C-alpha cells in the first residue's frame, strides 16, 4: 500500500481565515497528545511532515494538507487541562466551529488512545459528527502498548461507548504500522466520495 502523497498547505488560527471549501476535507480529531500528528506522518510515510511532541498542545492551529482530490486537516487536541483558559477558549472555538459548520467536511478520523476509555469530550465530538451525517472512523492508536487480548477488549469498549457500528474502530500504531493499510484505504475512499 502506497503512503498518501500529502503536502502541507496552510495553518489557520481563526475561523475567518478558513480557505474556500473547494474540495472534500477529512479531519483528524482527538484529545491532546493522543497521536493525531504522528498518525498523519505515518500514513504519509514522512516523519517530519507534521510536528509531534511528548508535550500536549503541540498542534495549535488547523493545519491543512493537500492530497490530489481531497484535503486532510490536522486539528489541535481537546481536553488538555494545562493550557491557559484564554488559549483553551480559542482552540475550543476553532475546533467546534470547524466540526459543526464546515460545509466541505465529509469525514472524521477520531483518534483515541487504546489504553483509555473515551472521555466526555470524545463522546460529544463523535455525536456532533454523526448527527451532521459525517462519516466517522474511530482509530484506537498506540496499539503497540497493549497485548492482543486487551486490544480486543478496548476496541469493544470504544465501540459501545461511542455507539458506533462494528468495524468502525480500527486498532492502529504509528510505531509498528498496525492498521496503516486499512486507514490509508479508508481515507482514500472518503476522499473520492
Ligand X SMILES: Nc1nc2c(ncn2[C@@H]2O[C@H](COP(=O)(O)OP(=O)(O)OP(=O)(O)O)[C@@H](O)[C@H]2O)c(=O)[nH]1
We find the least distance from the C-beta atom of residue 20 to ligand X, in angstroms, to be: 25
Q: How many CB atoms lie within 10 A of CB 168?
A: 18
The answer to whether residue 144 forms part of the interface with ligand X (CB under 6 A) is: yes
* Nearest residue to 186 (alpha-carbon basis) of 48, 70, 32: 70
Residue closer to Mg ion (CB basis): 33 or 143: 33
Which entry of Mg ion, ligand X, none binds 126, CB below 5 to 8 A by partner kind?
A: none
Closer residue to ligand X (CB): 58 or 88: 58
Q: Judged by CB under 6 A, does residue 43 bind ligand X?
A: no
126 binds ligand X per the rule CB under 6 A: no
Closer residue to ligand X, CB minimum distance, 70 or 172: 172
37 makes contact with ligand X (CB under 6 A):
yes
Spatial separation of the C-alpha atoms in residues 85 and 76, rounded to whole Å: 15
**Separation of alpha carbons 161 and 110, rounded Å:** 13
> Which one of residues 3, 8, 10, 53 is an interface residue with ligand X (CB under 6 A)?
53
CB 108 within 8 A of CB 29: yes
**Which range of residues in 32-40, 63-71, 157-165, 184-192 is near ligand X by CB under 6 A?**
32-40
Query: In the sheet that 25-30 helps form, which strands lie side by side, from edge to edge?
Result: 7-12, 62-66, 71-74, 25-30, 105-113, 135-141, 169-171
Counting Cα atoms < 13 Å in the Cβ hemisphere of 14 gives: 1
Asked if 171 touches ligand X (CB under 6 A), the answer is no
**Of residues 84-123, those binding ligand X (CB under 6 A):** none
Closest CA to 132 of 164, 165, 163, 99: 99
Q: Is 77 in the site for ligand X (CB under 6 A)?
A: yes
Q: Does 63 bind ligand X (CB under 6 A)?
A: no
Q: What span, in angstroms and rounded, lies between the C-alpha atoms of 189 and 193?
A: 7
Interacting residues with ligand X (CB under 6 A): 30, 32-38, 52-54, 56-59, 76-77, 141-142, 144-145, 173-175
Amino acid at each position: 500500500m502506497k503512503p498518501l502523497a500529502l503536502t502541507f498547505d496552510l495553518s489557520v488560527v481563526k475561523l475567518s481565515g478558513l480557505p474556500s471549501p473547494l474540495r472534500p476535507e477529512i479531519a483528524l480529531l482527538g484529545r491532546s497528545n493522543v497521536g493525531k500528528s504522528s498518525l498523519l506522518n505515518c500514513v504519509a510515510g514522512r516523519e517530519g511532515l507534521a510536528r509531534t511532541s511528548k508535550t500536549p498542545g503541540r498542534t495549535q492551529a488547523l493545519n491543512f494538507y493537500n492530497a490530489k482530490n481531497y484535503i486532510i486537516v490536522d486539528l489541535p487536541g481537546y481536553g488538555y487541562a494545562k493550557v491557559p483558559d484564554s488559549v483553551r477558549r480559542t482552540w475550543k472555538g476553532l475546533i467546534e466551529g470547524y466540526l459543526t459548520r464546515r460545509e466541505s467536511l465529509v469525514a472524521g478520523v477520531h483518534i483515541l488512545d487504546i489504553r483509555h476509555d473515551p472521555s466526555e469530550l470524545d463522546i460529544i465530538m463523535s455525536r456532533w459528527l454523526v448527527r451532521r451525517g459525517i462519516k466517522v472512523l474511530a482509530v484506537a492508536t498506540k496499539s503497540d502498548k497493549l497485548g492482543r487480548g486487551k486490544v480486543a477488549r478496548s476496541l469493544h469498549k470504544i465501540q459501545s461507548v461511542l455507539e458506533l457500528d462494528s468495524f468502525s474502530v480500527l486498532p492502529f500504531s504509528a510505531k509498528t504500522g498496525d492498521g496503516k493499510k486499512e486507514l490509508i484505504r479508508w481515507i482514500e475512499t472518503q476522499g473520492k466520495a
